[in-house]
Structure formats: structure tokens, C-alpha cells
Chain A
Amino acid sequence: GQNIDQPTEMTATEGAIVQINCTYQTSGFNGLFWYQQHAGEAPTFLSYNVLDGLEEKGRFSSFLSRSKGYSYLLLKELQMKDSASYLCAVRDRTGGGNKLTFGTGTQLKVEL
């Protein structure tokens, strides 16, 4: 099976930088995704890593280390609208299809 761990809650200040960690265990790793989900809304795609290293997209960056089973999402220049749940999800080759296994999400609160 798969196991994905991420912190339940984090709080940060507007304008600051926050790093949300995710560790995973999977038998057939085939990519790691980060999604953002505001309360009552659909998850929206933020980033995708399949090879080791850093992927940067504007204020958001995501890092992956496959040997360590570790990823993080880095959010810079935090804004109030970044308050949301951040979901780490792993895709593996077993079970067929494009199945993603999600963590429980990290609820980020951005304060003034």
C-alpha cells in the first residue's frame, strides 16, 4: 500500500515564505502532485514532479527526492488568498490508470 504524511496545519505571516513537507512510501512511484483546495471548492493543480529536483512556477516551487521519499511545496511572498488546504498526492504504476493517492492535506492559514 501507500502512506503519505504531511502536517495537518501551518500558520504563516503575509509576505513570508512557508515550506510544506510531504513524505511518502510507495511501491511503484510515477510522479508527485501538489494541489491547492479552498474550502468548498475543487482541488486545483499547482505542480508536478517526477524527477529529482526543484520545479519553479512563479511564487510556488516544489522539490522532490525519490530516494528519500520526500517532497516539499514552497510558497513565497505569501498572500491572504493562499490560505487553503494543500494536498500532496502520489501516483504509482500499480492498480492501473491514473490513480492518485492523496495525503490528508495541510491547512495553511496566512495571517497579517
Chain B
Amino acid sequence: ETGVTQSPTHLIKTRGQQVTLRCSSQSGHNTVSWYQQALGQGPQFIFQYYREEENGRGNFPPRFSGLQFPNYSSELNVNALELDDSALYLCASSTGRNEKLFFGSGTQLSVL
């Protein structure tokens, strides 16, 4: 167990809706990254937050946004959901920008 917790574990939404996913990082970790993992694929980097600021972004549209709070927990927000957004969303925390990532168990999002 990594100490990274995500909620909810499963979520069903319809196309066009908005969703917020939450992550609590492991104690002592100030960096949080979000990844999207489609079925049968490796995780794809969405973005990273370091000390409450976005610090690197992958090839995802602006409707994917995030926040990091003073306690280093984080949210991922996705607006105008599309069917292709159905995936496992993984949060990972680390102690810094060049340290190994510890992943949470993820939120399985289904968009109908």
C-alpha cells in the first residue's frame, strides 16, 4: 500500500457532464501527478502539480484542469465529458520532481 488515496473508486457519468476526482498524497509528498490509463494501455501523463502550481502538462485539452491544495492533496476536473474519457484515472505522488512515483488505486470513470 502506497498511502496515496483516491476517491471515488468508480464513477459513471453521461456525455457532456463534468466530473471532479480527488487524491490525497502520501505523507511528506509535495508533488502530485495525474495519469489517464485506457484499457490495455499504459498510463498517459495529464499534468503535475508542485507546491500548488502546475508544473508540466501532457497532450490533453484545456477541459482537463486541476488544483493542488496547501496540504498537497489534489483534484482533477474534466468538463464536457466525452465517451473517450472513459478510463482509469491514476494519481501519483512523490517527494520531488525527480523522485519515483507512488500511485493510488485509481478512479474508474465510465462515460455513457
Chain B residues touching A, range: 20 to 34
Contact yes or no, B55 A33, CB < 8 A: no
Which of B44, B50, B98, B101 contacts A45 (CB under 8 A)? B101
Of residues 43 through 100 on chain B, the ones whose CB sits less than 8 Å from some CB of chain A are 43-45, 48, 50, 55-58, 90, 94, 96-100
Q: Provide the main secondary structure of the chain A interface.
A: strand
Contact yes or no, A45 B100, CB < 8 A: yes
Contact yes or no, B90 A42, CB < 8 A: yes
Q: Mark A83-112, 1 if CB is under 8 A from B, else 0.
A: 000010101000111111111110000000
Contact yes or no, A97 B40, CB < 8 A: no
> Which of chain A's residues have a CB closer than 8 A to the CB of B96?
98
Q: Mark A26-64, 1 if CB is under 8 A from B, else 0.
A: 000011010100000111110010000000000000000
> Which of chain A's residues have a CB closer than 8 A to the CB of B35?
102
Given contacts A98-B97, A98-B98, contact A103 B42 (CB under 8 A): yes
B28 to chain A, nearest CB (A): 15
> Which of chain A's residues have a CB closer than 8 A to the CB of B44?
102
* B42, B55, B98, B100 — most chain A CB neighbours (10 Å): B42
Which of A31, A44, A97, A103 contacts B50 (CB under 8 A)? A97
CA distance A97 to B45 in the complex (A): 11
Interface on A for B, CB 8 Å cutoff? 4, 30-31, 33, 35, 41-45, 48, 87, 89, 91, 95-105
**A-B CB proximity, top 9 nearest:** A97-B56, A102-B42, A96-B56, A97-B48, A42-B103, A97-B55, A42-B105, A99-B45, A98-B97
What are 5 A-B residue pairs whose CB atoms fall within 8 Å in the complex?
A: A42-B90, A97-B33, A102-B43, A103-B42, A104-B41
